[in-house]
Amino acid sequence: MSKYYVLDVDRVFDYIQKELNYFDHDADVECNEIGDGNLNLVFRVVDKKHGKSIIVKQSLPYVRCVGEEWPLNINRAEIENRILKIEYNLTNGLVPRVYKFDPVMYATLMEDLSDHVIMRRGLMELNQYPRFIDQITDFMVKTLLMTSDIVMDHQEKKAYLKDFINPELCDITEALVYTEPFYNAERNKIDDFLIEFMENNVWNDKELKLEVAKLKFDFMTNAQALLHGDLHTGSIFVKEDSTKVIDPEFAFYGPMAYDIGALIANLVMNYISTDARIENRERCDVHNEYLLNTMRDVIDLFKEKFLRLFDEVVTDEMAKTPGFKEWYLDNVIIDTAGVTGCEMIRRTVGLAHVQDLDDIPDIDKQAQAKRTNVFMAKDFIMERKVIKTGQDFVDMVKRYYK
Ligand code: SR1
Ligand code: MG
């Protein structure tokens, strides 16, 4: 019987042929390990002769960015394989197509999207993606609303909920997003210039910590919809006319706001990064205007599509009560602002940073950008109850960039 082993560039071609016989006998192949995420191995194998390619993503039994001292259940690959199929069907292909999942190697063989770029990288190069707003709001509305109690038979939804219990990955989020950044935790990665600042402005702020505690318990207990669970700009592939969401291994039943807030936070951090990195003010202004429009339209179009689809697909009798859908959606957006703030703080001082902030070359500007990021994040959290529209998100950013 075959056994799990860790793939490498020398063995991945034979592995693919054994599993799928994907390449022609005369293929001229090149294999690269292209994973730059925190958890897994990702191989791209290309046949240069016939122009065919494939991705193999394999779970490692530990957290890649930390090492073997942090073991992690490899079964996350199986969860990812299941949710990719659900998301593919719900969104008409806004995620990669899975060719095969191997439950022995915890490896997924899937569509190569190398004609796309990771959105974080594309945004850092000041590129714009004209189809993104429409496609990502489609993705979020369809995956979130269609898997909720508003639509699903409640027993079927509970069966899904059971199928997507994902304790180890949720534990990572509970620790890295909602806990450790709010005290001087050992695993945090904090620049020296931020330690005193964090002590004064975050770790000793009891009111802030109370609000974060509320958001944490919402994350842990509000089984509202089947989430992607890690929807930042590093989990999205884009090109001019296409958006593909990848890496849903953190999927579980949680609050809708967690997906929307992760995305908005990463757009905001790209804005802050652009202001600090790009010397040419005209180029900076054009890009940051684009980002503000994007965050505003993502929120507003999400709301518009949500309300429209709600009427078409609602099955729960009480959810049809006039006023309910507006109340429900208002709360999702309010919590989105809270998640936005938590994601911004954790990406500044927690274990997993973002390049947008860390790659600001001028260290004084980087320090200033990170401080602004934390102040704005606090406002998102503390003032979330009045943040209800796309313009409210934009106004919060503009408060710091007049
Ligand atoms: C130890 S995993 C760190 C982060 O990487 C993933 O992409 C998630 O965002 C997680 O919080
Ligand atoms: Mg990931």
For ligand 1, whether the C-beta of 397 sits within 6 Å is: no
For ligand 1, whether the C-beta of 356 sits within 6 Å is: no
Q: How many CA atoms lie within 13 A of 396 on its CB side?
A: 31
CB 309 within 8 A of CB 143: no
Which atom belonging to ligand 1 lies closest to the Cα atom of 250? Answer: 8
Residue of the CA atom closest to atom 2 of ligand 1: 38
CB 347 within 8 A of CB 177: no
pLDDT band at 93 (very low <50, low <70, confident <90, very high): very high
CB 219 within 8 A of CB 229: no
Query: Average pLDDT of 266-271?
Result: 99
For ligand 1, whether the C-beta of 262 sits within 6 Å is: no
The predicted structure's pLDDT at residue 149 = 98
pLDDT per residue over 6-28, tens digit each? 999 999 999 999 999 999 999 99
Nearest to 113 by CA among 242, 267, 262: 242
The predicted structure's pLDDT at residue 276 = 98
Stated length of the chain: 402
Task: Find how far residue 254's CA is from the centre of its chain.
Answer: 14
For ligand 1, whether the C-beta of 172 sits within 6 Å is: yes
Structure tokens at 131: 């189809």
Secondary structure, 3-state, the chain: CCCCCCCCCCCHHHHHHHHHCCCCCCCCEEEEECCCCCCEEEEEEEECCCCEEEEEEEECCEECCCEEEEECCCCHHHHHHHHHHHHHHHHCCCCCCEEEEECCCCEEEECCCCCCEEHHHHHHCCCCCCCHHHHHHHHHHHHHHHCCCCCCCHHHHHHHHHHCCCHHHHHHHHHHCCCHHHCCCCCCCCCHHHHHHHHHHHHCCHHHHHHHHHHHHHHHHCCCEECCCCCCHHHEEEECCEEEECCCCCCCEECHHHHHHHHHHHHHHHHHHHHHHCCCHHHHHHHHHHHHHHHHHHHHHHHHHHHHHHHHHCCCCHHHCCCHHHHHHHHHHHHHHHHHHHHHHHHHHCCCCCHHHHCCCCHHHHHHHHHHHHHHHHHHHHCHHHCCCHHHHHHHHHHHCC
Which atom belonging to ligand 1 lies closest to the Cα atom of 66? Answer: 1
For ligand 1, whether the C-beta of 176 sits within 6 Å is: yes
The predicted structure's pLDDT at residue 2 = 84
Residue of the CA atom closest to atom 9 of ligand 1: 230
pLDDT at 372 over 80: yes
CB 398 within 8 A of CB 392: no
pLDDT per residue over 62-90, tens digit each? 999 999 999 999 999 999 999 999 999 99
pTM equals 0.98
Residue of the CA atom closest to atom 5 of ligand 1: 38
Structure tokens at 337: 């602002």
For ligand 1, whether the C-beta of 230 sits within 6 Å is: yes
Report the share of the chain in percent with pLDDT over 90.
99
Secondary structure, 3-state, 344-396: HHHHHHCCCCCHHHHCCCCHHHHHHHHHHHHHHHHHHHHCHHHCCCHHHHHHH
Output the CA 169–ligand 1 centroid distance in Å: 9
Q: What is the mean pLDDT of the chain?
A: 98
Query: Average pLDDT of 314-331?
Result: 98
Which atom belonging to ligand 1 lies closest to the Cα atom of 177? Answer: 11
pLDDT band at 1 (very low <50, low <70, confident <90, very high): low
pLDDT per residue over 161-198, tens digit each? 999 999 999 999 999 999 999 999 999 999 999 999 99
Residue of the CA atom closest to atom 3 of ligand 1: 352
Cα distance between residue 327 and residue 323, in whole Å: 6
